[in-house]
Amino acid sequence: MELQEIETYLQTWVSYPHPLLKELTDRGKAMNFPIMGPVVGQFLYQLARLRRPKVVFELGSGYGYSALWIALGMEEGEIYLTDKDPRLLEMARENFQKSGVRVTAHFLQGDALEQFDRWEGVPDWVVLDIEKERYPEAYDRIVPRLPSGGFLIADNLFWMGKVLNPRQIDPATEGVRAFTRKIMTDPRVLSTIVPLRDGVSISVKVGA
């Protein structure tokens, strides 16, 4: 069975905790915009319900799709959304307002890593979905700031299957490979790659 068939099957069982999420899923397809998708969204929502993070910082938020799944699971706390495109960030703001979610959302326009560096808070979770060639750099800047038990969640660890092809040596693919080596070998974190959609990694801070 192909991975796409599995994802299509899993999508039939997705339960949207808010009707706006279904609308945003359809919008992503119509715009051909690279969202995490409802299967991963539901997974993040479930994790947020289980862990109840109080402070989440997302690097690369687009129009707020994955952030909204997480915020609905959090129920309360703060979530920081970042994007270079002010139009996407304004869409994210509007979507959060429509949702009525109780989480306090902050919308930071500009380079996501630069915004993270300027921010002085302590994150319970960091969600990573920026340019893949920057993943290793992002890892080195994020992990030292995670508290014990903090999560680093990253999307696209399969990178459309390119990581499996040894002849694929473009910067984005090499970035994902280097990031994967870091999360799987760094003793400061305990990591798992979950084979949903394009691969989602969950790294838990366990050491200084």
- CA angle, residues 63, 66, 72, in degrees to nearest 5: 110
pLDDT digits (tens, 9 = 90+) for 124-134: 999 999 999 99
pLDDT value of residue 27: 86
What is the number of structural domains in the chain? Answer: 1
**Containing structural domain, residue 155:** 3-205
What is the torsional sign of CA 129, 132, 138, 142?
positive
CATH of the domain at 179: 3.40.50.150
Pairwise CA distance, residues 62 & 137, whole Å? 20
Pairwise CA distance, residues 195 & 5, whole Å? 13
The length of the chain, given as a count of residues: 208
pLDDT digits (tens, 9 = 90+) for 1-13: 567 788 888 888 9
Predicted confidence band at 38 (pLDDT cuts at 50, 70, 90)? very high
